[in-house]
Amino acid sequence: MNDDLRRRPIGVFDSGLGGLTVLRALHERLPDEDLVYFGDTARVPYGTKGERTVLAFARQDAGLLVAQGVKLVVVACNTASAFALDHLSEVLPVPVLGVIEPGVATALARTRGGPVGVIGTSGTIRSGRYQEGLGRVLDAGSIHARECPLFVPLVEEGLMGHALTDLAMEEYLAPLRAAGIDTLILGCTHYPLLKADLGRTMGPEVDLVDSAEALAEAAAARLAADSLRRRDSDDRAVSDRSGEMKFLLSDIPWKFAEIGERFLGRKIDDVRVVELDELEATGRDLDPGS
């Protein structure tokens, strides 16, 4: 395996800044790997858009990362994973991972035999992809999915632990609590920031599956299986190198510094803004019909 290929970065994209929780999990799990993040902040959210639009946007986002020379594309967006992962797997020249299958696999491994719940944006839940994955093992009656559209703005406003968040939690999650679920998939990259609130609402007996952490574990396994882990000259895993992070956005959103630091756990410097015509060009390069 070419050492130059191993030294290439991992690419991560999301419809906005929520995927920074995935970037954070990747850096914690693979600290020596370089990371490139693209957030499509000019066109967020994807969760309310149709499948055709999301697929086109996802192809452009992935194409941009491929143009950056990445060795693996990680789709941190749940909606894009639901609508576009199969297509990206066909057209990308590098491996691609989505956030849904790792979350499903982790939930199935952790459930103690009770019902399993999943929460996410309207687009993610209505796509049925989490339910489909869980349904390969569980009966339909043991799968409980809920749309939680207010959770994203509550997180972006920094209202974790707030009375408004408590009200939204009770409104959305009371049916899941009544169903007696023992495992809950956090099917949106914003939701890991609500773990404390979710834990109080659902109770300690419910295992919360952080999809960002599950995806980071899946990425580590895929890199190892494909011999793409970054190595030093002696072919040993590098343990004393801190990987670099590069940030690309399609717009600099209001309160970007505050929101970005909240998600990533560190300040974000050296951000490059990508124009929409550049995105569209990279999408055309991957379009088999162009």
148 is catalytic: no
pLDDT at residue number 288: 62
End-to-end CA distance of the chain: 32
Residue 33 pLDDT = 96
The second-level CATH assignment, the architecture, of 101-211 is 3-Layer(aba) Sandwich (3.40)
SS3 of 153, please? helix
- Residue pair 115/146 in contact (Cβ under 8 Å)? The answer is no
What DSSP assignment string belongs to 162-225? -HHHHHHHHHHHHHHHHHT-SEEEEESTTGGGGHHHHHHHH-TTSEEEEHHHHHHHHHHHHHHH
| 3-98+213-286, CATH topology level | Rossmann fold (3.40.50)
- How buried is residue 136: exposed, middle or buried, by Cβ count under 10 Å (0-12/13-18/19+)? exposed
For residues 273 and 212, give the distance between their C-alpha atoms in angstroms, rounded to a whole number. 25
Whether the CB-CB separation of 64 and 47 falls below 8 Å is answered with no
Given this model, what pLDDT does residue 233 score?
A: 36
Please state, in angstroms and as integers, the Cα–Cα distance from residue 110 to each residue in 101, 113, 149, 238, following that order. 14, 9, 26, 31
- How many residues belong to the chain? 290
Name the active-site residue from 12, 17, 72, 77: 77
Q: Is 188 a catalytic residue?
A: yes
3 state DSSP class of 116: strand
Phi-psi region of 237 (alpha: psi -120 to 50; beta: other; left: phi over 0): beta
Q: Which residue carries 């991957």 as its tokens?
A: 286
Closest Cα partner for 249 from 224, 286, 276?
276
Q: How many CA atoms lie within 13 A of 211 on its CB side?
A: 29
The reply to whether 3-98+213-286 and 101-211 are identical in fold is: yes
Catalytic residue among 188, 208, 212, 216: 188
The token pair at 216 is 């980071």
Q: Count each helix (H run) and each strand (E run) in the chain, helices first.
A: 13, 10
The strands making up 245-249's β-sheet, listed across from edge to edge, are 96-98, 72-75, 10-14, 35-39, 245-249, 271-273
Domain ranges for the chain: 3-98+213-286, 101-211
Residue 88 is which amino acid? L
Output the tens digit of pLDDT for each of the chain's 290 residues: 578 899 999 999 999 999 999 999 999 999 999 999 999 999 988 888 888 999 999 999 999 999 999 999 999 999 899 999 999 999 999 999 999 999 999 999 999 999 999 999 888 899 999 999 999 999 999 999 999 999 999 998 999 999 999 999 999 999 999 999 999 999 999 999 999 999 999 999 999 999 899 999 999 999 999 999 986 433 444 456 789 999 999 998 888 888 889 999 888 888 999 999 999 888 887 766 55
